[in-house]
Amino acid sequence: MIIKSVDAKKIKDSRQDETISVNIKTDVGAFSASAPNGKSKGKYEKKPYKKSIDKDIETIKKFKEYFSEEHIDKFEDLRRIEDIIKSEVGANTLVALEFAALKAMAKEQKKEIWELIRDSTKIKKQKFPRLVGNSIGGGLHSQEVNKKKPDFQEFLLIPKSHSPFEAYEKNKNAKEDLQILLKQKDEFFKSEKNDENAWRSSLNDKEVLEILITQKIPIGLDVAASSFYGRKKYRYNNPKLDRTIDEQRVYLSNIIKNFGIFYIEDPFEENDFESFSELLKKFPDRLIVGDDLTVTNKKRLEKAIEMKSINAMIIKPNQNGSLIELKEVCEIAKKNNIKTVFSHRSGETNESILADLAVGFGADFIKCGITGKEREVKIKRLIEIEKSLTK
């Protein structure tokens, strides 16, 4: 396959912020792909654009002739794209371009995108990732309700089923139940949704968890602790309270024990590998998950492994832009028994390729919300793959 031309334009994400869509033309047709935007970003993520989205679009157009000399026929050939443009654009632009190239390769070879990736990963055992769905939101992803909101960023439901269809139905039903319970428990609840289509509430973290445990589905939390950490304290607003690092460790340990938390993401700020390690030592049977800590970055992951900080990590393709690097990260994680959680971003698009990536790379979990068209397009793609393999 030869990329004959490349173009790019600005589109709106689910928050109505600008993001990038990249279009390519090849000898088998025209293909486009887009990248999402994150609001809660790790300090060590690669920048989405080199200088700005407009500059990246200009750069893509300048480099369009360079691609016409390269044959892109398999996943590993994405390196040829990276050799040309990786240093010239940001992570969003690069990953959208590589998504589009994967779509073109799959079309040419009459394969599904996940199959193309599976040819590269050589993963033989077929499994589907468990769904991780954001049901009630707080933190940076939510606006206040009556001047209050939970401090933790996401309250997650993680059905035990490895059938995407079954898990999707369970999460949707649970989210509807939670709406009724929130109406009863939160006098200010107005059935409004946040950036990730999760319910907005004025309740505090413990009050939300008391509602969540009624669903009898394994519970996860994205604490996103870096977002409220400053001057060596975790600064809670609902209720207003500052916690030291030691106090944060004790508080989260109690939360995990009292509510049977199965999954806890970014419980401490993004440089505190030691506190992650202490929590994992205390709860080896729970998932202690790095996101801002590891940012889909090989060196950060290697440090987390060395310090025994995590047993699971978030994989966000646009945290580094390079799918070649993403593959290396997944290989290191697998070799060290670190579970992988392929994840959407808060500002999403109608791009569904995350589902193919999760299946192709043999992800253990996929985190892409419960409802909302930009979230459901990914889940529905996963269900489509499931149906195609169970005929």
pLDDT digits (tens, 9 = 90+) for 175-220: 999 999 999 999 999 999 999 999 999 999 999 999 999 999 999 9
- Total structural domains in the chain? 2
Residues with catalytic function: 196, 316
Quick one: the chain helix, strand, coil %, rounded to 5? 45, 20, 35
One-letter identity of residue 34: S
pLDDT digits (tens, 9 = 90+) for 131-186: 999 999 999 999 999 999 999 999 999 999 989 999 999 999 999 999 999 999 99
Token output for 336: 């060290």
Reply yes or no on whether the pLDDT at 69 is more than 80. no
Three-state SS at 359:
helix
Distances (CA, A) of 345 to 123, 129, 134, 255: 26, 18, 12, 26
Judged against a pLDDT cut of 90, whether residue 70 lies above it is answered with: no
pLDDT band at 258; cut points 50, 70, 90: very high
* Containing structural domain, residue 244: 121-389
Whether 184 and 313 map to the same domain: the answer is yes
From the number of C-beta atoms within 10 Å of its C-beta (0-12, 13-18, 19+), residue 354 rates as buried
Which one has a higher pLDDT value, 71 or 107?
107
Q: Residue 332: what pLDDT?
A: 98
Structural tokens at position 217: 């589905």
Q: Are residues 190 and 297 in the same domain?
A: yes
Among candidate residues 55, 76, 111, the one where a domain is terminated? 111
**Residue at which a domain ends, from 43, 76, 111:** 111
Q: Check which CATH number belongs to the domain holding 105 and give it.
A: 3.30.390.10
What is the rounded average pLDDT of the residues 34-59? 93
Beta-strand relationship, 154-157 and 199-200: unpaired
Q: Measuring CA to CA, how many Å separate 212 from each of 142, 176, 215, 216?
A: 18, 12, 6, 8
Instruction: Please state which of the ranges 37-51, 85-99, 133-147, 191-205 shows the lowest mean pLDDT.
Output: 37-51
Contacts of 96 (CB under 8 A, 6+ apart): 8, 20, 21, 22, 33, 34, 35
